[in-house]
Amino acid sequence: MVFSSISFIYYFLPVVLVLYFLVPFKFKNIVLLISSLFFYIYGEPLYFILMALSILSGYLHGFWIERAKSGRYAKIPLISSIITSIGLLVIFKYADFFIGNINWIFKSNIPLLRIALPIGISFYTFQILSYTIDVYRGNAEVQRNFINFAMYVSLFPQLIAGPIVRYTTVEKEINKRSHSLDNFAYGVSRFIIGLSKKVLLANNLGELVSVLQNTREKTILSFWIAAIAFALQIYFDFSGYSDMAIGLGRMFGFHFLENFNYPFISKSLTEFWRRWHMSLGTWFRDYVYIPMGGNRVSAIKWIRNIIVVWFLTGFWHGAQWNFIVWGLYFAVMLAAEKYFIKKILSKLPSIAAHIYTLFFILLSFALFNSDGMGDSLNSLAGMFGLLDVPFSNDFTLYYLKSYGFTMLIAAAGSTPLIKTLFMKISNMDTLRKAVNIMEPVMLVLLLLLITGYLVDGSFNPFLYFRF
């Protein structure tokens, strides 16, 4: 079940909300737990057992870590927690990648396991690790109530695609949280805005990307259009999903942290990664980069730290070499920015810094959006005219004209322009009342339009299910 579906919007969510607000507070976490387990079982009945085992492991490791914290062997339960969680992730997400590479290197014939990727495993694994590590560090109290811990890990708004919600972020709200009409209204508004990003923009851009990738009439221009469209698609797909998750969390009294902050307005790749998928970036920063010494080490060790973090970031996204190369690409670029590109950019007009950033981001998404390294290299070659294809043709121009308006709307929506304009209008005394009346009307109209798309349309993928 995905958020952008009729079954979720008009059946699952209304039933959960009614049950949640009917019961006393002491039963609200039970309602959320049962609802979240149903939500997961609906899509992954078999791998529910794996998630349940992961939850039980995290819960028991928390107690073990607390008991051993002041002892001589305090790190043993922490190491056990890390090995258990990462071990399950490796088996179910990366086993065939390792087997395939071993077969290729040693010319062996070890059969692949062909295990289907459990939805959400990358996200809930990192949430469990954030809990056990923070309990070890003394940043979080051990959660003694199993229902509360299981609810934290399986909470359906963020279960299958994040953002990665750390235990310390919602620790107090698990046990005590407030509900208000303002919070609920904000949650509904945020959910509909995220749903609009996903259905009206990301899905339409995805159709364009699919057409351009699968056609035999490729051109240099079509490769660039596909790269731009995919960059906007994945942004609205994932930021839209994050908006929906944050909105749903607010409906139930949780305050999840923001996951995107207009990354395409960045003036450097370093800034881009402070604005893109922030929950993942800060997770690697706090649990990998800083423990290795961060930037308070020698230049050689800092480069090592950057390579390790970005290798893991790429590998986290998928068990293919193009994801690893994608991560290492950013490691190289970020190191280059630190030592000499940043000095050059500081002397250039800001528009040049924007162009530089967007150019290398588009190249990175050409690496990212492919089926292996061969496909990645083919896309990059096509973008730079190294394939035997024309610059443009009637097919490319037709689709550029057909989707050009959608791309322009998406480009504007990826900046603070629309939000800033709306806030200025809202703050004008003469228009404030009109805006207060029109805002809910517009949200209802958006929901009706989205419903029409979902009823009539079949193209409704979600990119981050791959990870």
Query: Could you read off the pLDDT of 121-161 as tens digits, one per residue?
Result: 999 999 999 999 999 999 999 999 999 999 999 999 998 87
Task: Judge contact between 231 and 361, C-beta under 8 A.
Answer: yes
Sign of torsion over alpha carbons 129, 130, 134, 137: positive
Same domain, 296 and 413: yes
Q: Do both 167 and 197 map to the same domain?
A: no
pLDDT at residue 40 tops 70: yes
The 10s digit of each residue's pLDDT in 361-388 is 999 999 998 888 888 999 999 999 999 9
Residue with the bigger pLDDT between 84 and 418: it is 84
Same domain for 164 and 277, yes or no, is no
Domain boundary among 150, 177, 204: 177
Together in a domain, 250 and 288? yes
pTM: 0.93
Average pLDDT over residues 318-337: 94
pLDDT at 69: 82
Q: What is the pLDDT of residue 44?
A: 80
Residue 436 has a pLDDT of 78
Q: What percent of the chain has pLDDT over 70?
A: 98
Q: Both 74 and 210 in a single domain?
A: no
pLDDT of residue 45: 86
Mean pLDDT rounded to a whole number for the chain: 92
| Same-domain status, 72 and 212 | no
**In the predicted model, what is the mean pLDDT of residues 2-19?**
94
Q: 450 and 310, same structural domain?
A: yes
User: Do residue 359 and residue 308 come from a single domain?
Assistant: yes
| HSE-up (13 A, CA, CB side) for residue 347 | 4
| pLDDT given for residue 439 in this prediction | 84
- Give the residue numbers marked as catalytic: 317
Question: Does 100 lie in the same domain as 115?
Answer: yes
pLDDT score, position 458: 60
Instruction: Identify whether residues 459 and 342 lie together within a single domain.
Output: yes
pLDDT value of residue 407: 96
pLDDT band (50, 70, 90) for residue 434? confident
pLDDT at 461: 62
Q: Is residue 1 part of a domain?
A: no
The fraction of the chain above a pLDDT of 90, given in percent, is 78
* pLDDT of amino acid 456: 77
Q: What pLDDT score does 463 carry?
A: 59
In this predicted structure, the answer to whether residue 163 has a pLDDT above a threshold of 60 is yes
In a domain, 386, yes or no: yes
Same domain, 321 and 206: yes
pLDDT at 464 over 90: no
Residue 304, domain extent: 183-466
Tens digits of residue pLDDT in 209-260: 999 999 999 999 999 999 999 999 999 999 999 999 999 999 999 999 999 9
Q: Give the per-residue pLDDT at 459.
A: 61
Which of 125, 153, 177 is the C-terminal boundary of a domain? 177
Tens-digit pLDDT profile for residues 48-80: 999 999 999 999 999 999 999 877 788 999 999
- Identify whether residues 102 and 244 lie together within a single domain: no
**Looking at the domain assignment, is residue 438 inside a domain?**
yes
Contacts of 220 (CB under 8 A, 6+ apart): 382, 383, 384, 385, 389, 390, 391, 392
Identify the pLDDT of residue 70.
Answer: 77
Domain count, the chain: 2
Measured CA to CA, the distance from residue 438 to residue 80 in angstroms comes to 55
* Residue 467 confidence (pLDDT): 54
Closest CA relative to residue 32, chosen from 198, 148, 183: 148
Considering 177, 194, 222, which residue would you say is the last residue of a domain? 177
